[in-house]
Amino acid sequence: MPGISDIGAAALRCLPPEAAHGVALGLLRHGLVAKPRAAPPPALRIKLCGLEFASPLGLAAGFDKDAQALAGLYRLGFAFVEAGTVTPRPQAGNARPRLFRLSADQALINRMGFNGAGLDVFAANLARAREKGIAGPLGVNIGANRDSAERLEDYVTCLERLAPLADYVTLNLSSPNTPGLRSLQEGDALKRLLGRIGEAASGLARPVPLLLKLAPELEGAALAESVRAAIEFGIAGLILCNTTTARTAGLVSPARGEQGGLSGAPLRAPALAMMREVYGLSEGRLALIGVGGIASAEDAYARIRAGAALLQIYTGFIYRGPRLIEEIISGLAQRLEADGFERVQDAVGADA
C-alpha cells in the first residue's frame, strides 16, 4: 500500500520540513499506512497510572497537534499517542520558517509556538476518534495561549474540556517557544499552578492522571523542588524531557544557529542523565516517561534501565520513519530476554 514507509519517509525529507509534516499527517489521516508486522510480545506489556500499554513505546506530543490523524498513528504500531499541544484559542504560532532539519546531526530545531486550531477543533477530533475506537491509551498535551492574561486558567479550561476524552493529560510547562512559559515549571509559580489544577481536577466527573513535561535545563535544587511539588500535589508522573535551548559543541548542520528548541540525537545524553537523577529523586512515587534522542532499541533500553516506564519518540521517527517502531519493539524484547527479565517493568531502573 502506498503511504508512509521507509521509502516514503525518505521522500518526505525532500520537501521543506513543515510541508513534509503536513503531507505525513494527510497520509495518516486517510489511512495510507501499513499495519505493523506483528503485535508486541507479551513481555513488553506494562501497566502504568491504571492504564494498560501493549508496549512502552509511544509518540510524543507535537506531531499531531490537532488530533487529526490518531487512527493512522496507532496503526503504525505506537502503543500510545500524545496529541497536542492544544491551547484554548486557535493560534497561528511563530512566523515561518520555524522548523529546521539538522540532518548531519540527526536533530531538529523548532520554534513552532503552539500553533494549532484551538480547543473546539481539537475536542471535536478527539470525540470522533473515540467514537470510532482508539487502539491504545491516548494522552492530551495542554498549554496556554501566548497572549493569555491568565495562563493558569488556560490550563484549567483545557483540562476541564478534555478530561472526559483523554486517558491522561500532560501539562506542558516547558516549551521554549512561548515567552515566559518555562517560569511555570518551578518554585512558587509551579505550586500555584498545581494547586489550581488540583482544584479543577477534584471537580471532574471522570478523574484522569496528570503529568508534567519538564525542560532539560531544569536541574539541581530547582529540579528537586519541582519533583517534590509534583509528589505533594498528586501529579501521577513526569515526562523527561522537552526540547533544549542549549547548543552542544559538536553541531555541524547549517541550521544549528536557529533559535528554538533542539531535539534529536544531541538531546540523548542530557535526557538520559535527567532520567537517572529524577528516578532517584522520585523514589518510585512518580511514573516517568522518557523522551529525547531515542532513535534505536539501544537508546530505548538505556532509558528504561535509567528509570523510564514508558518511552516516546519524535525526531528519530521523523528521520527513520515507521521502521524505527518495529526496530525498537523487537530490540527491546531481545534485550529483556538476554538480560533475564521476564517483563519490561522488571528492567525499569535496573541501572539505578
- Round the average pLDDT of the chain to a whole number and report it: 94
Residue 1 lies in a domain: no
Q: What are phi and psi of 11, to 5 degrees?
A: -65, -40
- Domain membership of residue 200 (yes or no) is yes
The model carries a pTM of 0.95
Residue 292 lies in a domain: yes
Helices of type H across 257-308: 268-282, 297-306
User: Which pLDDT belongs to residue 33?
Assistant: 78
The pLDDT, as a whole number, for residue 9 is 63
Q: Is 206 exposed, middle or buried (0-12, 13-18, 19+ CB in 10 A)?
A: exposed
Domain count, the chain: 1
- Tell me the CATH number at 177: 3.20.20.70
Q: Is residue 352 part of a domain?
A: no
| Ranges under pLDDT 70 in the chain | 1-11, 36-37
pLDDT, residue 2, reads 40
By residue range, what is the domain housing residue 209?
6-347
Which residues are annotated as catalytic? Answer: 175
Question: What number of residues does the chain have?
Answer: 352
